[in-house]
Structure 1
Amino acid sequence: MAIAFPQVSEWVESQQPIRLLQRLAKNTSDVTDLKSTAFPTIKGTPVTSGFGWRTHPLTGERKFHYGIDFGASKGTPIYAFEAGLVEFAGWKGGYGKAVIINHGAGKSTLYGHASKLSVRKEEQVLPGQIIGKVGSTGMSTAPHLHFEVRLNNKPVNPRPYLQQHKLSSNYSPRMQAFLATIRWAETGTSRTESYQKLVFNGTFNNFSTHPLIKQCASINGKKTCSTAAGAYQMLDKSWRDLQPKLKLPDFSPESQDRMAIEYIRRNRAISDIESGNFANAACKVGKIWASFPCNSYDQNPKAMSELSRYYQKQLSWMVVR
């Protein structure tokens, strides 16, 4: 009986899927989510800049922002959103170190400003596979992940694609906008760099704990010293109070958000925020944040009208239409 041997070319082609599976199997330790899609970084990481028009933090120009920025600290894992083929991995101008993954059917995703890349061009990846680490390369003011979704190479709003992953620790759009307003009032920006601000001058880079740095400056002719730090200008005593109670692992952006939420809760402002009563909520938290009205700190608070305008602007792009 004659034995039929397959052509060499046919045999090689038959082995390609097997080799792909073997290669992917070696990467299982780098895969965190085997569902059809995965959140592009640590779940719960706050959104610090959305898709749409904004004032560029470096140039000061009014420009369209083609993705979503997540305020993750340097070294935080970046995950592939969906299975696909790495189309690009390397330096990409203002994006710094970046990865582009082709998911087929005209859809691709981009991950920018990485400190380290863990994949190469032409590599197949699974959803949730680590493809790099968050950084601040390219045109960036602080560590964060810039994430884009593109259809036929045209950027579209990533939010609808991420809805199943519950953006920003499942905070409602109103709460997210309120937190962004506090960050802006306290530090001058609601973007990623706010999470690294020291009270009067400079920034910190170690998120393992509160920086515990005291700075002094003159406010209205009076010397004022403070350990306030981060997006919500938390004092060292606030850290000592909330860290054990909330079981915070670090002073990361996510932990800072949780601290702010706790102070909002303690001042009974959550229901006002969720019901849309911004002025009432802002007045209640004025006891905590000197940049808000309804307190006697005499530290040049923002006007309620100014805060409300900023809040409404933030809310307008956080609500998915």
Structure 2
Amino acid sequence: MADIDTPNIRAFLDTIAVSELGRALLAKSDNGYNVLVGSTPAAPMLFGSYADHPRRLIQIRPGLASTAAGRYQLLARWYDPYRKLLGLRDFSPASQDRIAVQQIRERLALPLIAAGRFDEAVARVRNIWASLPGAGYGQNEHSLDYLRDVYLKAGGVLA
């Protein structure tokens, strides 16, 4: 897919994955594509088939349960609409990448990423990923400085 064949978009996707899952968990899985929410490096919870979203409701803590899964921690309720919109047949790594790029596109952040305007792009998509700064979901949020460093190390270029 052309949208993710650019260094800045690929670096941005890598940054989201590191933010959501952490480097250690990415290393203990299929680069994050088969990770269930609630996983830790010490206790990774992985799903075994990419045929469909795993659709498992996992209790994270009292009052918080989630169906998030995959490299970008997509909720099950969003998978079916994106599958239909994008003509996807599975929850494979390529499908997960296409969904993440579509979510970024919908927030009008693709041109910002292409132009190297990282901080503005993060601000545009922070409502999608709880680990981004300013997301406001009451979960662990990473600093913009940390994420910018991850992006640069992944090959992204700033304006």
TM-score of the pair, normalised by structure 1: 0.44
Write out aligned runs for 1:44-63 (5 A): none
Q: CA deviation at 1:261?
A: 0.3
Write out aligned runs for 1:114-129 (5 A): none
Figure out how many residues of one structure are paired with residues of the other and give that number.
148
Whole-Å separation in 2 of the counterparts to 1:249 and 1:179 = 21
2:12 corresponds to which residue? 178
- Confirm or deny that 1:231 pairs with 2:71: yes
Within the candidate set 139, 142, 145, 1:302 is matched to 142
Q: CA deviation at 1:169?
A: 7.0
Q: Which amino acid aligns with 1:196?
A: N
2:81 corresponds to which residue? 241
Structure 1 or 2: more helix by fraction = 2
Within the candidate set 96, 106, 110, 1:256 is matched to 96
- Confirm or deny that 1:215 pairs with 2:58: yes
Q: CA deviation at 1:293?
A: 1.2
- Confirm or deny that 1:311 pairs with 2:145: no
Whole-Å separation in 2 of the counterparts to 1:171 and 1:268 = 18
C-alpha RMSD over aligned residues: 1.8
- Confirm or deny that 1:193 pairs with 2:36: no
Within the candidate set 273, 288, 300, 2:113 is matched to 273
Whole-Å separation in 2 of the counterparts to 1:268 and 1:309 = 23
Whole-Å separation in 1 of the counterparts to 2:146 and 2:3 = 27
Residues 143-170 of structure 1 deviation map (CA, whole Å, 9 limit, x = unaligned): xxxxxxxxxxxxxxxxxxxxxxxxx875
Q: Check conservation: 2:126, 2:134, Cα contact below 8 A.
A: yes
Indicate the SS of the match to 2:91.
Answer: coil
Whole-Å separation in 2 of the counterparts to 1:248 and 1:258 = 9
Q: Which amino acid aligns with 2:48?
A: N
Q: Which amino acid aligns with 1:263?
A: Q
Q: Which amino acid aligns with 2:20?
A: E
Q: CA deviation at 1:193?
A: 3.2
Q: Which amino acid aligns with 1:286?
A: R
Q: Check conservation: 1:181, 1:310, Cα contact below 8 A.
A: yes
Instruction: Flag structure 1 segments of 5+ consecutive residues without an equivalent.
Output: 1-43, 45-167
Write out aligned runs for 1:65-80 (5 A): none
- Confirm or deny that 1:206 pairs with 2:52: no
Indicate the SS of the match to 1:176.
Answer: helix
Structure with greater Cα Rg: 1
2:42 corresponds to which residue? none
Q: CA deviation at 1:294?
A: 2.3
Whole-Å separation in 2 of the counterparts to 1:300 and 1:174 = 25
Q: CA deviation at 1:171?
A: 1.9
Q: Check conservation: 2:3, 2:101, Cα contact below 8 A.
A: no
Seq. identity, %: 35
Instruction: Flag structure 2 segments of 5+ consecutive residues without an equivalent.
Output: 40-44
Q: Check conservation: 1:284, 1:294, Cα contact below 8 A.
A: no
1:288 corresponds to which residue? 128
Q: CA deviation at 1:300?
A: 1.3
Structure 1 or 2: more strand by fraction = 1
Indicate the SS of the match to 2:65.
Answer: strand
Q: Which amino acid aligns with 1:300?
A: N
Q: CA deviation at 1:295?
A: 2.2
**CA distance 1:232–1:170, shift in 2 (3 Å):** closer
